[in-house]
Amino acid sequence: MQLVRLIYVSVMTEACDTTALQRILEVSRTKNTARKITGVLCYDPSFFLQCLEGPKDTVNALYGDIVRDVRHKDVTLLEYVTVEEREFGAWSMAFVHASTIDKQVLEKHTQGLRFDPFELSSEQANDFLVDVAHHTSRHMAAQR
């Protein structure tokens, strides 16, 4: 079984109100666990930046559904690679609102410039999401 990592960025549409976003979070956690998909979804009112990792056929099928979803548009593939192991194995889908990203993490990846996820290279997108997910998880653990 080939394991792949896919990263895309998209623009949130008006169809994605709070209820719709909540539905995405619930469906993702349930379905991704059943499909052995892991990853992270970083979002704010204007964009989604998501990494999906898991078995190739399963990730491909889910990405097909996601691309057709009207709750976002301008879906742009940033990375699609075969990997040996998962970066986000601990999360069926880590959800991170962009406003909660640590300032130092943001500064490291933007060097003071405005954050535009569409401008990220595949490597930058992966590094950013790894930092965001791991920092958020450490922060939550420290709060317990």
* Residues in contact with ligand FAD by the rule CB under 6 A: 15, 20, 23-24, 27-28, 31-32, 41, 48, 50, 62, 65-66, 69-72, 93
CA distance 127 to 92: 19
Q: DSSP letters along 39-61, please?
A: EEEEE-SSEEEEEEEEEHHHHHH
Are 69 and 10 in contact by the 8 Å Cβ rule? The answer is: no
Residue with Cβ nearer ligand FAD (83 or 108) = 83
Residue with Cβ nearer ligand FAD (62 or 125) = 62
Element (H, E) at 24: helix 18-35
Residue with Cβ nearer ligand FAD (100 or 104) = 100
Minimum gap (Å) between residue 21 Cβ and ligand FAD: 9
Minimum gap (Å) between residue 77 Cβ and ligand FAD: 13
Q: What amino acid occupies position 33?
A: T
Residue with Cβ nearer ligand FAD (22 or 100) = 22
Minimum gap (Å) between residue 42 Cβ and ligand FAD: 10
CA distance 139 to 104: 13
SS3 content of the chain, % helix, strand, coil (to 5): 45, 30, 25
Minimum gap (Å) between residue 79 Cβ and ligand FAD: 16
